[in-house]
Amino acid sequence: MNSNIFNSKGIHVGTVTGAAILTRYLVRMGSKGWMVWDRHARAPARLEGGRPVIGLTEEQAREIRDELTKNHIADGELGLKARGK
């Protein structure tokens, strides 16, 4: 069974065969606006400068989540290639 993955703008970003996947980043409602939650850190995601991704509109949070997810997937693929897999 193949499952297609689309970002919030409907752009195809990948296909998964078999098992379901859990994404690292989630969009959640915070006490003051929307945030991007990092499942691995169990805290709000942080941008490169260390600023937490909080207090956003839902659309902003979704766009940032999509970029973080895309970068996370690219980093993982590069890591596998570097190890010769």
pLDDT digits (tens, 9 = 90+) for 35-65: 999 999 999 999 988 999 999 999 999 999 9
Entry pTM: 0.65
The rounded percent of the chain whose pLDDT value lies above 90 is 51
Mean pLDDT of 1-27: 72
Query: b/e string for 36-68 if b means 16 or more Cβ within 10 A?
Result: bbbeeeeebbeeeeeeebbebeeeebbbbbbeb
* CA dist., res. 70 & res. 67, Å (int): 5
Write the DSSP string, the chain.
-EEEEE-TTS-EEEEEESS----SEEEEEETTEEEEEETTTTEE-B-TTS-B--SB-HHHHHHHHHHHHHHHHHHHHHHHHHTT-
